[in-house]
Structure 1
C-alpha cells in the first residue's frame, strides 16, 4: 500500500525501442541510478542511425555516436537489454505498470564469439532487410558490423540440413535450436516509447514508379548504397546494371505534404537529400545532380550554410517544382521524368540515369500501435500527456525529428519518467 508521498510500487523504467532515442533515454535514467529495461524488436540495437553513412550535424558515421553509447551501456549494470522482443500489453497506472513482453528465439547463446564459422557453412540465404532487400545474406548472420549485442542470429528459415551444419561448425557450443519463444511480465513505474519511424512505403506513390522501374530508389536505399557496410561496399551505382550514374535526380516530398499519403513535413528529407548530393559529388565529381522541390527547409544557421555551399556547386541544380510522373526509357533503364517549374511556369521533361525518392518518415506506431493507454494524433504520432504521466513518447515516436532533436527530446523524457517515480 502506498500513500501520495511514499515511493511508487516500482522504481524501474521501461524503454521500448533501442534506436538512438531509446538508448539516450535508457542511459540518462540508468546513469542517475534507476533500473531500466530496454526492449528492442530487432536482433540489434542502433535503429535507423545504424543504417546511415553519416548523420548531422557533424556528418559523423554511426560508429561515432553508437559506440560511445554501447560502451556506456556495457559499463552500466542498471540496464537490462532484451532484443528480439516486443511489448504485448501495458496494464496499470503511473508508478505501477505490468508489461507483458514476448521474446523470439535467437538460437544463439552468450557463448558466441562472432567467429563466423556458422555463416561459412550455411547455404540458406534470406533477403537482407538491413539493406532494404537490395542484397541477400546467409540465414546465419550478424545483423551488421556494429551490432549490439555482438552475437549471431539463426533465422528460422534456415534449412534442416544447414541447422546441422552450423551446429557442428560452432566450436563454442553457442548454437541452440531448442530455444523457444517466451512471454514474461515486468513491473515498472514508467514506460517511454521510443519506437522510431519507418520509411514511407514508396510503392504506394503510384505516379513515381518505385517498384516498377529498377533505377528508382528511395533516400534510405541510397544511404545504404553509400555506406561501406552496405550492399555495394559504399559504391553508389545503378541497380539495373551497376553503372556509375552521370545524372541523378531527387524528388523531394515523395509522399510527404500530400493529403493522399503523409500530410505533414517529415523534417529530415531536405537535409538528407543535400547530404546525399555530397556523397555523390565525392564519388563522381562530374555528375550532374537535380533536386526537384516544393520548398527547401534547412532549419538553423549550420544547415542553411550547408545548403548555401551546395547551391554554389555548378553541378548541383535546384528546380522548384514537384515531379509529377515518371517512365522508363526503352533499352537503357534511364528514367524520364516530368515536372513543372513553378517559377517559370514551364513543363520540364528530363531523362536521368537514376531517380531518388525523398520519402518521408512514418511513425512505427502508425503501423503497429502499442496496446497501452496512449493518445495518438491522426498520423499515428504519440501525444504526450504530462498531466497523466507514466507513459511517454521520445524522439520520432512523438514527432518528425533529426538525430540531435531526438536526443534532446529523449533526455527530457527520461526526466519525465523519473518524475513519475518520484511523485
Structure 2
C-alpha cells in the first residue's frame, strides 16, 4: 500500500509534465515537501512525445533526463503515478487532498527487462504515439519512462495474457491482485499543472481528418518524424507507407474560429515551421512543402528562426485558410481554397497534409475537484478567489516549453510563500 507523509506545509503538484516536474523540483530544492501526482504511468507529459524543440531544433531528451534525475534523487518529492486528484477541501494553507491511485499491476521489483511484454500477445493502440502504432498489453510507455517500470493494461487482467506475464517475470514484479487505492493527506498549497491537450481534429469536418488517413495532426507528425517513433523517423503516408515528399501544413486548424477554439495557441506557427524542416531535411531538393497560414506569429527570439526557415527554397507560403480537403482516387489529399493576397482559387494535391491543431486545457471547465476561476477558454485565471491554488504552464494558457517552465517556477515561488506563511502563523 502506498503511503504519503504530509503536513499543511506540503505542496501538492497536480500534473507531472514539464511544468509540474519543474514546479515540484524548484519547491523541493528549497526544502519543501512535495507530493507530485500524475495520471499517466510516467512523468514528463507531452514534452516526451516531441522530436525536437524550436528554435534551436535540439532534442528534449537531454534536459528532460536532467529533470527526471533531479526529481528521482530528491528525497523531498513523493511521486504518485497513475493517480488523479478526486477532491480538495479546506482553505489556503490548510487543504485536504484526496487522490485515487489506479493499479499498475507491477511492483517495485520490476527491472524493466521486458520479459512480460514478450509473453503477452494482446495489442492495443499506443496512446504515446497517438494511435499511430500498437503496443503490447504489458508495456514500458517509452524508452526513457520514469519510473522505469512496466505497466499491465487493465484490459488484460483476468485473461490468460495476465497469467503469462506473471509466469514470465523472474523477479516476482507482477501483482495481479493490485486494487485502486484512495489516499487523503494535508497540504498547504496546490500547483495545478495538468497541461494541455490537442484539439480534436475530427471536429473540423471540412478537413476530413477522420475520413482521410493521409490527413494527420501536428502532434502525430511529431511522432512520425522521431527516429524512435512508429515510423522510425520516416516521413511517409500512413495509408500506404510511401514517402511523403509533398506536404502541406495548415495553420490555425480549429483555432481562431468561433465554431472551435476562439483563441490563438501561439506556438502552432513555430511548430509547423520546425516540422517543415523535418521534410526538407529528409528529402533535400526533392521536398515540396506548402504552409497555409492566416498570420505567422514569430515574436521575440523566434524572428530569427522564422527567417531561417523562410529562406529554405523547398518551403513556400500561401496566405489562406483552406476551405476544405478531399481525397482523390489514389488517396492523395487535395486542398481547396482561395489565397487572400491574389484571390486566386487553388486545388492542390499533396502526399500528406498536417493540421496544426490548437491547444486546449487538459481539464474541462467542469472537471476540477475544487472551485477555481477559469477564463472563457477554460484556462485557469490568476484570481484571489483561488486561494492557495496556482496554475502552472499549460493549465494557465497556451505556452511553449520555455515559457511553461518559467511560469511553473513562478507558481512554485507563490506556493512556497503560502506554506511559509503557514509556518509563520504557527510560530
Q: C-alpha distance in 2, partners of 1:22/1:59?
A: 23
Residue 139 (str. 1) matches residue 143 (str. 2): no
Partner of 1:116: 114
Partner of 2:401: 403
What are the Cα deviations for residues 57-81 of structure 1, in whole angstroms up to 9, with x where unaligned? Answer: 4322121121000110122100000
Shift of 1:9: 6.6
Call closer, same or farther: CA 1:317–1:62 in 2, change over 3 Å: same
Call closer, same or farther: CA 1:73–1:9 in 2, change over 3 Å: closer
SS of residue paired to 1:366: coil
Partner of 1:374: 372
Shift of 1:231: 0.7
SS of residue paired to 1:120: helix
Residue 196 (str. 1) matches residue 204 (str. 2): no
Deviates more, 1:178-187 or 1:60-69: 60-69
Shift of 1:366: 2.4
| Contact persistence 2:47–2:60 (CA under 8 A) | yes
Residue 25 (str. 1) matches residue 23 (str. 2): yes
Partner of 2:45: 47
Where do 1:228-239 residues align within 5 Å?
228-239=227-238
SS of residue paired to 2:154: coil
Partner of 2:311: 312
SS of residue paired to 2:349: strand
Q: C-alpha distance in 1, partners of 2:56/2:179?
A: 43
Q: C-alpha distance in 2, partners of 1:281/1:270?
A: 17
Partner of 2:290: 290
TM-score after normalising by structure 1: 0.96
Partner of 1:88: 86
Q: C-alpha distance in 2, partners of 1:288/1:15?
A: 45
Among 63, 66, 74, the residue aligned to 1:68? 66
TM-score after normalising by structure 2: 0.95
| Contact persistence 1:56–1:403 (CA under 8 A) | no
What are the Cα deviations for residues 270-306 of structure 1, in whole angstroms up to 9, with x where unaligned? Answer: 0000000111111111110000000000111x31111
Residue 343 (str. 1) matches residue 344 (str. 2): no
| Contact persistence 1:325–1:337 (CA under 8 A) | yes
What are the Cα deviations for residues 16-48 of structure 1, in whole angstroms up to 9, with x where unaligned? Answer: 000000000000000000000000000001101
| Contact persistence 1:389–1:420 (CA under 8 A) | no
Where do 1:213-362 residues align within 5 Å?
213-285=212-284, 286-300=286-300, 302-330=301-329, 332-362=330-360
Stretches of structure 1 lacking an aligned partner (at least 5 in a row): 1-7
Q: C-alpha distance in 2, partners of 1:157/1:75?
A: 33
Shift of 1:351: 0.7
Q: C-alpha distance in 2, partners of 1:410/1:76?
A: 18
Q: C-alpha distance in 1, partners of 2:207/2:404?
A: 30
Q: C-alpha distance in 1, partners of 2:386/2:138?
A: 45
Q: C-alpha distance in 1, partners of 2:134/2:7?
A: 47
Q: C-alpha distance in 1, partners of 2:291/2:397?
A: 25
| Contact persistence 1:374–1:382 (CA under 8 A) | yes
Shift of 1:134: 1.0
Partner of 1:176: 175
| Contact persistence 2:37–2:79 (CA under 8 A) | yes
Stretches of structure 2 lacking an aligned partner (at least 5 in a row): 1-5, 422-427
Shift of 1:387: 7.0
| Contact persistence 1:366–1:379 (CA under 8 A) | no
What are the Cα deviations for residues 286-336 of structure 1, in whole angstroms up to 9, with x where unaligned? Answer: 110000000000111x31111112212211010000011110001x11011
| Contact persistence 2:373–2:385 (CA under 8 A) | no
Partner of 2:425: none
Shift of 1:160: 1.5
| Contact persistence 2:365–2:374 (CA under 8 A) | no
SS of residue paired to 2:171: coil
Q: C-alpha distance in 1, partners of 2:127/2:386?
A: 38
What are the Cα deviations for residues 176-229 of structure 1, in whole angstroms up to 9, with x where unaligned? Answer: 000000111021000000000000000000111101001000000000001122
Partner of 1:4: none
Q: C-alpha distance in 1, partners of 2:385/2:252?
A: 35
Partner of 1:3: none
Shift of 1:373: 2.4
SS of residue paired to 2:363: helix
Q: C-alpha distance in 2, partners of 1:112/1:373?
A: 39
